[in-house]
Structure 1
């Protein structure tokens, strides 16, 4: 006679919106469409988005990822190179032109908007204060839009306290698009307190997707024994979601790339689990994690939706007449 052990019940609060944003969707589309239009290989400078599953999927289709343009072999100079969604300094397309390379820019339009905001500040004679994380590709790209010495990076409230500008009355700020809304508000408030004439950008720099995902996590996190965020360790917006979940009341919050990373034996007693995904994490991994819970627990999934996202960004003009197969579309959509 076989005995069976009943699975412990848990509830997963599945946040929405989650996962791919319009900028990530567009960037992945651009690489897939370029492969269709021009054949393999298509080169991509830096990870197109910060997600290994996506990068490896594109590599399987014929994309080759490089960090610098000089890594592209001479015999492949006629093939397109795609610039990542995070944006690049002005020196990169200039280098591509000098090397006679054909490039496709997959910079998220909302990142491009920040570039324009920073350039407008500088054009109007203001020194630019960029609130962001040092070394992040988006920050490198934004700083690279401006002449050297015309932008200062501020990461924290402590940095804002220590910042000593040459002209305190002639400053304008922009922010990295993937920051914590709450953290950024604190830094901006401190800067405005110290520099009352600090000029804001014409529109909020933190993108809609970052804000929406953080708001959904804030609402779902209270009472959660565990909150999981699907995302890569180098994904700024994903790491911010982990922080937001903890601040909003989750007892524990973890960043995971795949279900296999979860330490199932170390979870302890859990009844309520929050689940979200950063803007570069595909839905297929969210599904994988839910199924992994179903195999171990009597799992109920509750949708914790806040707003519906309808944004859609057009791909480059050169690619708009190329059609994708249903399989290609599923990959682009993270399914």
Structure 2
């Protein structure tokens, strides 16, 4: 039932993305452009601008929501999002080095972002292992340290003597869905199509890990094997999302929380979190595109404001309950 509601919300947000923006389309014009019944402006806007933006946001949101659920489940910690464990910082550092130092193309930058996310996750995961077993709380703490170091290194790379090149790196660091192409859609969409079903198949191990590693082993699960599969899926999903849209905060952290509140489930629903992530990202982008401002804020700015507000509300309500 919750998944059906989220599908409807996502569909409504997608319609808003398709119709609104700098150039507003009517429903009939959008449909004419979508089915290529109009060879004029509507078709150009829909197929050249709106659909790539919409689908990139849809798949990136699903990737972020699912990866947040995976890492929070593995760490058994509500703060165990990709931003905290260092994946986003790793992707951002690698991409900025490519842009500023080597002047890489968009495709190469996307590849570097995925490699950077994988390297940061491998470092966090490897350093968190003790006696051959990875500890969730240790993973969070080490990830915070790695993330802080990578953010500092990214700042150092940006403070170089050529302002024009540095600005290109800074622009990429502001996560946005503007000027997306079908290349980004194919990259992040392919990652979601392949990795989300794989993660769903590993959901039995994920749910068992929620009970603790000792009990998970007693139930016949293999915690380390499940964690490796989920880590690989999470790395791929985050890397593809950051490569396609840049670093976007809040979504991976909040989507599993909100989904768990709606379902009332003690475990984190993976598919529901993916749909929630898509809903949040598309709604945030639609909101940013319809604000009465001369310059429309990128989606990462909107999610940052919403995310900060949500975290404050969550902390205050928990404090009140205590």
Instruction: Specify the TM-score bucket, using the shorter chain as the normaliser.
Output: under 0.3
- Higher RCO, 1 or 2 (CA under 8 Å, sep at least 6)? 2
Which has a greater percent of strand?
1
Task: Give TM-score scaled by structure 1 length.
Answer: 0.25
Q: Which has the larger radius of gyration?
A: 1
Which has a greater percent of helix?
2
